[in-house]
Structure formats: C-alpha cells, structure tokens
Amino acid sequence: MRAALIATLALSAGVSAFAQPAPPPVAAAPTTGQPTWRQVFETPQTVYYLGQATPAAGPPAGDLAISSMVAFKIPQVLNGAQVWSVISNLRLSCARRQMITRDAGLYAQPMGAGQPISQTFGVDAWHTPEPGSLGELVWKSACAPK
C-alpha cells in the first residue's frame, strides 16, 4: 500500500517548481535486466526516471507500457524498511489521454538494484494525469508526437 502511495504521490506532484534540465540516459547494469533510465525530473529529495515506452501487450491496441523510478537521495523508512527507490510499471492510453499504475516495488538499494522488499499490484485506476504533474510529464514523454 505504501508503494502505491509513493507512486501516486510521485505521479501527481507538480513539476514546475523544481524542474531541472534532464541529463542524458543512465544505463542500467547489464545483469539487472532493468531498462535504461532517462532522468526527467529532480527535486532536492528525489530524482525521477523513465524507461523506454513500448507497445503494451493485450487489448486495447495502441496502449503503451513504460517503467518509472523514483530514486531517493536519502533513504525513506516505510513500514520499518529502508527504501532507496520505487519502480512502477505503468500502462498509458495515448488515445484516451489516461494512465494506470499496474504495479510498484520498493527497493532497499539505490536505482532499483536487487530484489524488491515489497510489491503492490493493481491498486490504481485509469485516470487522466493532472496538468503540471509528473503523470502528465510521463504521458507527454511517451505519447506526444516526436
């Protein structure tokens, strides 16, 4: 439940107050199987990354799948566990301008390394990202015409 809360807070937070220019992608370690991360946002407490958007499996056709990561600069303590990062898997409907968080995992190591210490599945509903939010930044990053 706390992972969903963090993911929801991260996606609904306003971006305009702390937005920093995005540096080049940060490659994942070759053995982790994680996506290559691209930094899209930073605050004094967190750095927010996106993976590469890909076509989502299953209907409806045209949806995209994308991973996001919130990396904490100072670990957070949630339910007695130290958390350095949260990785969420999202599904986006570019046609409907909506998104849903499919799952979220809490990681005790920076950049989502190792096994998740907690995972949450299916706790979100389809929604339209709020203007100026990280959710809108995710949607625009994946769905906006290039």
Domain segments of the chain: what residues? 2-143
The pLDDT-based confidence of 11 (bands split at 50, 70, 90) is very low
Write the single-letter amino acid at 123: V
Show the CA angle centred on residue 137, arms to residues 132 and 142, nearest 5°.
150
CATH architecture of the domain 2-143 equals Beta Barrel (2.40)
Q: Write out pLDDT tens, residues 14-29.
A: 333 333 333 444 444 4
Asked whether 91 and 100 are in contact (CB, 8 A), the reply is yes
57 vs 127, higher pLDDT: 127
